[in-house]
Amino acid sequence: MSPTRKIFPLICSLATFASAQADFVGLNIGAYAWNPDISGSFRTGSDSKIRLQNDLGINDDTGNGLRVSLEHPLPALPNVRYQTVDLSSSSRSTISSSIQFNGSTYNAAETINSTLDLSHQEIVLYYEMLDNWINLDLGVDLKMFDGKVGINDNRVTVDETIPMLYLSARVDLPFTGFYVGADIQQLSIGDSSADDTTLLIGYESNTGLGIEGGFKTFSLDLNDANNLDTNLKYDGLFLNGYFHF
């Protein structure tokens, strides 16, 4: 079952709770679509690097997911945001030169099926540092990967949880309902690093119905994560629709 389908019971429960406690909590429920280009490479162990575009013919993806944020007035406890990110690409290609992956060799002119799945769930725990026409949130983002990288039936699982520093800023444009903002998540530990940056412009009506769009980049450099090294980058436009209780 995909992470997106798992979240629906949680959404229903949170919506009921927010309606009953409308004076005390805020709930934001949204769905988004992201259309990134993909670049980079990966390898296993001491095997040669496999380039997404040149070797496998993978160069784009369609990402989508759901987002639920719950804010409350208790200053000692962080606010919570849960998000699903479905990022899965596949390709069938005839390789022009031999490649090695996870102990197997694939020869030139051989037709292979490749999979790159970096789908994950996110739990963001954050505090509101400012909450007026300028909004500033600071916290930690836990990215929980449950994916795989593979060629034919030869696959390596990506089962990693990456904690990242989280910073979100939003500036409301006076008397318009429009706003601009940015979300930044970063981590660097040893030879591994990750970066998730979003620049956006949005509009929220008086009823709480809103829409926002912009540009999102996500890069992931892993060093020996379950015998897998990655140097990957996703970037492209996104669109998010939401309702703010």
Q: What is the pLDDT of residue 15?
A: 45
Q: What is the pLDDT of residue 72?
A: 86
Provide the β-strand partners of residue 88: 117
Among candidate residues 125, 69, 114, 122, the one with its CA nearest the CA of residue 92? 114
Q: What pTM was estimated for this model as a whole?
A: 0.84
Helical (H) or strand (E) element with 14: helix 8-20
Q: What is the pLDDT of residue 189?
A: 76
Q: What is the pLDDT of residue 24?
A: 57
Alpha-carbon dihedral 212, 35, 154, 196, rounded to 10 degrees: -50
pLDDT in tens, the chain (245 residues): 444 445 445 444 444 444 444 445 789 999 999 989 999 999 998 888 999 998 998 887 778 899 999 998 888 899 999 999 998 888 999 999 999 999 999 999 999 999 999 999 999 999 999 988 999 999 999 999 989 999 999 999 998 888 999 999 999 999 899 999 999 999 877 778 899 999 999 999 999 999 999 999 999 998 888 889 999 999 999 999 999 98
DSSP strand pairing (120-131 vs 79-85): antiparallel
Among candidate residues 150, 16, 109, the one with its CA nearest the CA of residue 70? 16
Euclidean distance between CA atoms 11 and 16, whole angstroms: 9
Domain boundaries, the chain: 3-244
Burial of 169 (0-12, 13-18, 19+ CB in 10 A): middle
Sign of CA dihedral 222, 224, 226, 232: positive
Euclidean distance between CA atoms 14 and 8, whole angstroms: 10
Q: What is the pLDDT of residue 200?
A: 97
The CATH fold of domain 3-244 = Lipocalin (2.40.128)
Q: Which runs of E-coded beta strand occur in the chain?
A: 26-44, 50-51, 63-71, 79-85, 88-94, 99-101, 104-106, 111-117, 120-131, 134-145, 147-151, 154-158, 161-172, 178-189, 192-204, 209-222, 228-244
Q: What is the pLDDT of residue 16?
A: 47
Among candidate residues 199, 194, 195, 207, the one with its CA nearest the CA of residue 181? 199
